């Protein structure tokens, strides 16, 4: 007999997979075949590669591994192995065409749902608590966000649309929050679909520090540009300064200068840069330079997570800044419900107990930390998800963006990228040490 819990878990897994597929379809059906096979930027795969790769991972983990079924297309495993072919080389591969890729992913999905119907979601294996299915739904959503970034790089008439996010909230007061020092629980050992790099839960001691109540806005960032921030090596790391020079970087990616005004291209629309929206499409280097210019610094990952999860009343860590409830539309700008970050103060219901806003959604936030395993880290289910990226080459981003689905976003969720990357929906907020007498 199937327990009630298990059937509920199966429903959740099926729901998460279906939500992801609806989004994948929307992102790949709005452009024509020539657009799907084109490489819009050397940084990205053709959309048709992401599409078939989504199916390929689902075949590997759900159909073959969990289900123990026969392979559907063992001949294409290599084509869709991200480690075999860098993104820049993918257009030259003998990829499945748009119609073949669509047929393949739906055939895999039918088989995966059959596996789900027969799977036991108990015990200690990959399917336990529906993890494998949750992991695959998250994987598809992560590629959907990557495809959304490809859409942003795509040149041509707009093809995506969405309603505007909620308006600016009350004036950001106070604009900084003191986070008291002491131990808190970082990471998780209980969240069923948390990925390997979020585990295990462990205690971390953090000194008292101050964090911005809101992400840094476009208006604030424009003031840094006006003050000559891009022209003064004092604010930049040596690597950042070299990178800025080599690429002639003068402003966030997709910004266009017009006299004193800043404009930007966003999903094919040219518009004025809105002052009160979190800045995005900045590299870690630009975030670092801004913070130094502002007399601040980027928060460490532990600081960011303490600000996001620590409840001063109980001393416990929450799943989300607002509590343990799954993200709702009132909490955070997630899931591509809108095609932009919301202005600061737009989500008062999503603030942390200490009054830190918009930690979840809107823009990914660069942190000062490089990507490393937590104490007791165990790679699961494969080293190539996280472990092979540990080291000083990658910086960690937290909190998710407007393009991140809730299934792939928790206050423990960790993303990472090279410090030079700007095509992702990344911004930042600043932190600083507490000043003497400020406590
Ligand atoms: C966690 C977003 C860095 O897209 O490279 C997708 C997620 N891993 N397929 C990425 C991922 C394998 C990963 N990031
Ligand atoms: Fe992938």
12 annotated binding-site participant: no
Residue 146 CA, closest ligand 1 atom number: 4
| pTM for this entry | 0.98
Residue 417 CA, closest ligand 1 atom number: 3
| Long-range contacts from 88-94, C-beta under 8 angstroms, 24+ separation | 88/39, 88/42, 90/39, 90/45, 90/46, 90/49, 91/37, 91/38, 91/39, 91/46, 91/49, 93/49
Residue spans of alpha helices (H) in 280-423: 284-293, 301-309
For atom 8 of ligand 1, the residue with the nearest CA is 385
pLDDT for res 152: 98
21, 28, 53, 73, 131 from 137: Cα distances, Å: 9, 17, 13, 20, 10
Residue 416 CA, closest ligand 1 atom number: 3
Residue 32 has pLDDT above 60, yes or no: yes
202 annotated binding-site participant: no
417 annotated binding-site participant: yes
For atom 1 of ligand 1, the residue with the nearest CA is 415
Are 277 and 341 in contact by the 8 Å Cβ rule? The answer is: yes
Average pLDDT rounded to a whole number, residues 13-34: 98
CB-count exposure of residue 128 (10 Å: 0-12, 13-18, 19+): middle
Q: How far is the CA of 80 from the centre of ligand 2 (A)?
A: 9
Cα–Cα distance for residue pair 163/167, rounded to 1 Å: 12
Q: Give me the chain's average pLDDT, please.
A: 96
Cα–Cα distance for residue pair 282/254, rounded to 1 Å: 10
410 annotated binding-site participant: no
ipTM: 0.99
Q: How far is the CA of 400 from the centre of ligand 2 (A)?
A: 17
Residue 415 CA, closest ligand 1 atom number: 1
Q: How far is the CA of 336 from the centre of ligand 1 (A)?
A: 18
113-123 residues labelled b (16+ CB within 10 A) or e (exposed): bebbeebebee
87 annotated binding-site participant: yes
Question: pLDDT grade, residue 2 (50/70/90)?
Answer: low
pLDDT for res 124: 82
Are 286 and 424 in contact by the 8 Å Cβ rule? The answer is: no
pLDDT for res 1: 52
Residue 63 has pLDDT above 90, yes or no: yes
Cα–Cα distance for residue pair 17/1, rounded to 1 Å: 24
Ligand 1 binding residues, C-beta < 6 A: 139, 142-143, 146, 385, 415-416
For atom 14 of ligand 1, the residue with the nearest CA is 415
Cα–Cα distance for residue pair 173/228, rounded to 1 Å: 28
Cis omega (within 30 of 0) for bond into 200: yes
pLDDT for res 4: 65
- Sequence-separated (6 or more) residues with CB below 8 Å from residue 146: 44, 45, 50
288 annotated binding-site participant: no
Residue 439 has pLDDT above 90, yes or no: no
Residue 117 has pLDDT above 70, yes or no: yes
Are 221 and 252 in contact by the 8 Å Cβ rule? The answer is: yes
Dihedral sign computed on CA atoms, order 194, 198, 203, 206? negative
Q: How far is the CA of 54 from the centre of ligand 2 (A)?
A: 7
Residue spans of alpha helices (H) in 30-130: 33-37, 47-58, 98-118
Question: pLDDT grade, residue 129 (50/70/90)?
Answer: very high
Backbone angles phi, psi at 358, to 5 degrees: 55, 35
Each residue's pLDDT tens digit, 193-207: 999 999 999 999 999
pLDDT for res 30: 97
Average pLDDT rounded to a whole number, residues 70-79: 96
Select from 208, 230, 227, 209 the least CA-distant residue to 219. 227
Average pLDDT rounded to a whole number, residues 376-405: 97
pLDDT for res 301: 98
Question: pLDDT grade, residue 174 (50/70/90)?
Answer: confident
Kindly identify the ligand whose nearest atom is closest to the C-alpha of 425: 1
* Residue in 142, 371, 401, 423 to alter for ligand 1 test, most ligand atoms within 8 A of Cβ: 142
Kindly identify the ligand whose nearest atom is closest to the C-alpha of 195: 1
Kindly identify the ligand whose nearest atom is closest to the C-alpha of 81: 2
Q: How far is the CA of 196 from the centre of ligand 2 (A)?
A: 15
Are 52 and 95 in contact by the 8 Å Cβ rule? The answer is: yes
Are 37 and 46 in contact by the 8 Å Cβ rule? The answer is: yes
Q: How far is the CA of 287 from the centre of ligand 2 (A)?
A: 27
Average pLDDT rounded to a whole number, residues 49-74: 98
Question: pLDDT grade, residue 172 (50/70/90)?
Answer: low
421 annotated binding-site participant: yes
Average pLDDT rounded to a whole number, residues 391-397: 98
For atom 12 of ligand 1, the residue with the nearest CA is 385
Q: How far is the CA of 141 from the centre of ligand 1 (A)?
A: 10
Q: How far is the CA of 408 from the centre of ligand 1 (A)?
A: 11
Cα–Cα distance for residue pair 229/221, rounded to 1 Å: 9
- Sequence-separated (6 or more) residues with CB below 8 Å from residue 124: none
223 annotated binding-site participant: no
């Amino acid at each position: 007999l199937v327990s009630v819990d298990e059937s509920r878990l199966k429903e959740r897994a099926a729901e998460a997979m279906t939500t992801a597929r609806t989004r994948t379809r929307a992102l790949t059906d709005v452009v024509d075949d020539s657009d799907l096979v084109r490489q819009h930027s050397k940084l990205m795969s053709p959309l048709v590669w992401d599409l078939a790769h989504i199916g390929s991972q689902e075949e590997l983990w759900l159909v073959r591994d969990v289900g123990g079924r026969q392979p559907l297309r063992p001949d294409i495993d290599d084509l869709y192995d991200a480690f075999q072919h860098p993104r820049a080389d993918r257009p030259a591969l003998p990829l499945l065409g748009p119609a073949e890729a669509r047929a393949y992913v739906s055939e895999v999905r039918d088989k995966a749902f059959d596996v789900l119907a027969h799977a036991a979601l108990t015990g200690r294996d990959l399917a336990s608590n529906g993890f494998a299915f949750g992991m695959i739904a998250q994987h598809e959503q992560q590629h959907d966000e990557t495809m959304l970034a490809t859409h942003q790089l795509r040149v041509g008439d707009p093809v995506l649309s969405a309603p505007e996010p909620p308006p600016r909230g009350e004036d950001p007061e106070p604009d900084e929050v003191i986070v008291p020092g002491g131990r808190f629980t970082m990471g998780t050992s209980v969240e069923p679909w948390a990925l390997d790099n979020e585990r295990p839960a462990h205690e971390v001691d953090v000194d008292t520090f101050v964090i911005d109540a809101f992400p840094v806005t476009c208006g604030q960032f424009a003031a840094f540009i006006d003050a000559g921030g891009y022209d003064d090596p004092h604010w930049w790391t040596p690597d950042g300064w070299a990178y800025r020079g080599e690429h002639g970087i003068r402003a966030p990616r997709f910004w266009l200068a017009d006299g004193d005004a800043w404009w930007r291209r966003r999903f094919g629309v040219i518009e004025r840069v809105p002052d009160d929206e979190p800045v995005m499409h900045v590299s870690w280097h630009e975030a670092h330079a801004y913070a130094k210019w502002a007399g601040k610094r980027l928060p460490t990952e532990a600081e960011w997570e303490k600000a996001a999860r620590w409840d001063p009343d109980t001393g416990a860590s929450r799943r989300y800044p607002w509590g343990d409830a799954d993200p709702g539309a009132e909490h955070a700008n997630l899931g591509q419900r809108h095609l932009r970050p919301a202005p600061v103060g737009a989500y008062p219901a999503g603030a942390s107990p200490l009054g830190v806003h918009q930690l979840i959604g809107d823009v990914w936030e660069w942190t000062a930390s490089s990507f490393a395993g937590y104490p007791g880290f165990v790679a699961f289910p494969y080293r190539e998800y996280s472990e092979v990226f540990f080291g000083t080459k990658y910086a960690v981003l937290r909190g998710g963006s407007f393009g991140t689905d809730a299934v792939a976003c928790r206050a423990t969720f960790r993303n990472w990228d090279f410090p030079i990357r700007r095509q992702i929906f990344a911004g930042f907020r600043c932190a600083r040490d507490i000043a003497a007498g400020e406590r």
